[in-house]
Structure 1
Amino acid sequence: MTVIDAFVTKVIELSDYTEQDASYLFNRVLALVGEASGNPDSQSKTLIDLKEDLLDLAVANGKVGALIEERDCLGAELMNFITPIPSKVNEYFWKTYEQSPEKAIADFYDLSQKNDYIKLAAIAKNIAFKTPSKYGDLEITINLSKPEKDPKAIAAAKLMKNSSYPQCQLCMENEGYQGRLDHPARANHRIIRLPLGDEEWGFQYSPYAYFNEHSIVLNTQHVPMVISQKTFEQLLDIVDWLPGYFVGSNADLPIVGGSILTHNHYQAGRHVFPMEVAEIIESFTFEGFERVEAGIVNWPMSVLRLTADSKADLVALAEQIRLAWRDYSDSQADIVAYTGDTPHHTITPIARRQHGRFQLDLVLRDNHTSPEHPDGVYHPHADVQHIKKENIGLIEVMGLAILPPRLKDELLEVEKYLLNQYNEIADYHKEWADQLKETHPDVSLENVSEIVHQAVGQTFARVLEDAGVYKNPADFMRFVESIGIVNV
């Protein structure tokens, strides 16, 4: 069977098209990929593989350039054939949701994989492993899913006319957008409209997922990130709307915030992170909130965990804590709320349901800098930046390291160095590697990868300790007591 015929057959099988539409589909695909090189046979079985065959054909026919970004634009358009229009996706979602929220979510997740919006093949390239620590098992991912920019694509993008549409990659206007060299293809992208209080938000999946059912809940308006009482209300509403999901927000300040501070959004999914299973090491009750269980979590970052039956109680207490932390300074613990009028304090909040009850984790963040730590006092310090120097955002806060692609090859050179083989180890790994040599005189070909992986995990634990504003419970409890507690 020819590649176009095979693709059309799969489209009919996986969509609302019927056999009566076969010639129409054939001609529409032919218009996209071209006729010059004919229509060769294909041995591919899946729709996504057939799409790749069609892209090769389109490149050969001169219908699309060979750059990844150019192929992606046409690839998304081809996968749009099996993707219902937004109104139909939303209609089906909410009609199904009335009968079974779990099925509505599962079907939307399935569509987002089936139409190649979620890049499963790319995600599979990531290197992932777990390492034990005194805080529990930490999760490590070396992110290889997002393709690195081709220098030709970068050069070509610079020659393009500047465009501010869509304003960012989280805007609603991305739904159906064709894409260009400097903006991802989104022809097959769909967003579920989600009511949150008096606002309409959107629910979508992340194309390059870092964990199971990694999704984004985004404001339909292009407004900046902000942590407020409304944040807590919305997070707790979302865990009601999306059963089985956690949801959290990056902080809203530079250094301690996420990579996109210009568009208010949350991240959600069906995954149990290491922080979630960490135990409480100090329990107490806040004055006026006797129905809320509260405590400090055994975690390298500074986390208050609140659990209650009532969303209203949790929202009110979380807001009281946020306001107290915003203005709280403690010179003894190097906690600085303001430099002049510049605020340094905010919170990274995470919401979930636990055994039918509502739970909020509030991670205290401080982004002030110093001459000793110009990147941030509570940012990965210089001696661990050879592993992780980027901001510690929501996902890392919860115990999943997203490490840069460079480490794939760099860690192999570290392994060769430990084995006394010829290597091209990066200078910034040398001191760390020498320490590993000293502590692991038994290193061998059989265990070297495990030794390096475990060392990466321990370094990530140190990264999180650097990001934690409190280094001992006594300092942390001074802040807790300043809010007012019933018993210690």
Structure 2
Amino acid sequence: MEGSQVIYDFVSLAIESGGWMKTDRAYIQNKLTDMTGVIVSSNNINQVSNMTAEELCQIIVDMAKDNKANEYQTEEDIDQLKQSIMELLMPPPSVVNAMFAKKFDRSPLEATNYLYWLNQINGYLSGGKETSYGIEFDAPMHGKCPLCFENEGTYEPGSAFLKKTRRFIRLNLNNDSWGYQLSPLEKDKEVGLFFPEEHTTLFMTNLLIDQMVQLVDLYTHYEIHYSQFNYFYGHSFLVGKRVNKDRQILCEYTLPFFKESKLAYDMEQANDVVIQTKRPQDIWLMINYIFSLTVSHKRGLYTMDFDYYLSKTETDYQMIVSIHDNASNKSRDNWLFTLELLKNELEIRY
């Protein structure tokens, strides 16, 4: 494909992304000419091809290496060039937030679909390491925090998160400033990360549950997951994934003092307790009630040994409390004992 055609196609994608207007075409083409040495001619320009932005970017990079070999010699030089090219596809943060808000007013699903599409075409979603627990969030051992607001648009060689194309959405939860972006470690499906602006570690508390409730109220198509292991440099985040209907369980039991809420548990797998309630303010109270059952037996439980998954059905909030795969054998034994006590509580009183 001719160099002019490649650049024309790439600029067309940049305009489609919403960060530029048609009148900006010559300006963007000239920026690419400066980077690559490719002179764009209006002759022989055909209809836009079906190539992806990443494919077009790679061709542009190859042309730049041929035309400006002295400038692009190292892998870091080439990666910097790729980042600069792909950044042309990403509108500035203010535009992304304005477009997201406009679409969110129509539908939260439409808004997250827009952000996912935008991250796909600009190559931010690069894929990651898959484990039995899902995508592994490996934090680099050095460098800048991948979540901090001030690092938006920062490029750091070798980082999956810190790219010039990184954009996030500003949120307000309980008057605290939060951000929402997509994880670059998932290329083929949408995984959202929610994180406070303050560089802080999140703990399972009533306040955090209130914030999780706000998130599922806003993003009803997401299940929000908290784990003590989800952090970078001590900066915690929550994970949002599309709700899996198979995980929405019909609960049949009730607990003392919580007659408007229901509960289910799994004695065979001994992993999960499911809480369903129309009263989100009861979730933290029910978790504490369950965890307190073993206190008199001196077999306490630690909230940090568990994962917490909150979603919203048409009628209820559902919280799944699941002991973490990395929990100690002692914690697992205490959890089994707790479930036995819980079973007796339900059978005796209700």
TM-score normalized by structure 1? Answer: 0.59
Residue in structure 1 matched with residue 28 of structure 2 by the alignment: 25
* Partner Cα distance (1:298, 1:211) in 2: 34
Deviation at 1:114, TM superposition (A): 2.0
Deviation at 1:277, TM superposition (A): 5.3
Residue in structure 2 matched with residue 310 of structure 1 by the alignment: 279
Amino acid at match of 1:31: D
Task: Show CA shifts across 1:309-334 (max 9, x none).
Answer: 12222243235445x38x84857xxx
**Does structure 1 retain, via aligned residues, the 8 Å contact 2:255–2:263?**
yes
* Partner Cα distance (2:347, 2:78) in 1: 59
* Partner Cα distance (2:300, 2:88) in 1: 54
Residue in structure 2 matched with residue 230 of structure 1 by the alignment: 207
Residues 271 and 56 (structure 1), Cα distance of their counterparts in 2 relative to 1, 3 Å cut: farther
Task: Show CA shifts across 1:465-487 (max 9, x none).
Answer: xx955685x652226768x9972
SS at match of 1:75: helix
Deviation at 1:360, TM superposition (A): 0.7
Residue in structure 1 matched with residue 123 of structure 2 by the alignment: 116
Residue in structure 2 matched with residue 267 of structure 1 by the alignment: 239
1:51 has 2:44 as partner = no
Residues 329 and 194 (structure 1), Cα distance of their counterparts in 2 relative to 1, 3 Å cut: farther
Q: Percent identity?
A: 19
Residues 358 and 102 (structure 1), Cα distance of their counterparts in 2 relative to 1, 3 Å cut: same
Residue in structure 1 matched with residue 12 of structure 2 by the alignment: 9
**Does structure 2 retain, via aligned residues, the 8 Å contact 1:214–1:267?**
yes
1:239 has 2:205 as partner = no
Deviation at 1:229, TM superposition (A): 1.1
Residue in structure 1 matched with residue 173 of structure 2 by the alignment: 196
Residues 140 and 175 (structure 1), Cα distance of their counterparts in 2 relative to 1, 3 Å cut: closer
Deviation at 1:221, TM superposition (A): 1.1
Show the 5 A alignment for 1:181-192: 181=158, 184-192=161-169
SS at match of 1:77: helix
1:88 has 2:95 as partner = yes
1:288 has 2:257 as partner = yes
Amino acid at match of 1:54: I
Deviation at 1:5, TM superposition (A): 3.5
* Partner Cα distance (1:211, 1:468) in 2: 34
* Partner Cα distance (1:210, 1:297) in 2: 33
Residues 210 and 23 (structure 1), Cα distance of their counterparts in 2 relative to 1, 3 Å cut: closer
Equivalent residue in structure 2 for 1:102, among 106, 109, 130? 109
Deviation at 1:293, TM superposition (A): 0.2
Deviation at 1:77, TM superposition (A): 2.5
**Does structure 2 retain, via aligned residues, the 8 Å contact 1:97–1:103?**
yes
SS at match of 1:478: helix
TM-score normalized by structure 2? Answer: 0.79
Q: Higher mean Cα deviation, 95-104 or 200-209?
A: 95-104
**Does structure 1 retain, via aligned residues, the 8 Å contact 2:222–2:242?**
yes
List structure 1 runs of 4+ shifted beyond 6 angstroms.
Answer: 37-44, 139-143
Task: Show CA shifts across 1:64-94 (max 9, x none).
Answer: 4553x65444323322212111111112222
Residue in structure 1 matched with residue 269 of structure 2 by the alignment: 300
Residue in structure 2 matched with residue 363 of structure 1 by the alignment: 322
**Does structure 1 retain, via aligned residues, the 8 Å contact 2:14–2:90?**
no
SS at match of 1:292: strand
RMSD: 4.0
SS at match of 2:259: coil
1:377 has 2:329 as partner = yes
* Partner Cα distance (1:363, 1:108) in 2: 30
Q: Higher mean Cα deviation, 212-221 or 13-22?
A: 13-22
Deviation at 1:199, TM superposition (A): 0.8
Deviation at 1:193, TM superposition (A): 0.9
Residue in structure 2 matched with residue 179 of structure 1 by the alignment: 156
* Partner Cα distance (1:178, 1:5) in 2: 26
* Partner Cα distance (2:19, 2:100) in 1: 16
Residue in structure 1 matched with residue 339 of structure 2 by the alignment: 476
* Partner Cα distance (1:65, 1:259) in 2: 35
SS at match of 1:223: coil
* Partner Cα distance (2:311, 2:164) in 1: 32
Gaps of 5+ in 1: 129-138, 150-156, 252-256, 338-342, 369-375, 379-466
Deviation at 1:345, TM superposition (A): 5.2
**Does structure 2 retain, via aligned residues, the 8 Å contact 1:77–1:187?**
yes
**Does structure 1 retain, via aligned residues, the 8 Å contact 2:146–2:232?**
no
* Partner Cα distance (1:190, 1:344) in 2: 32
SS at match of 2:235: coil
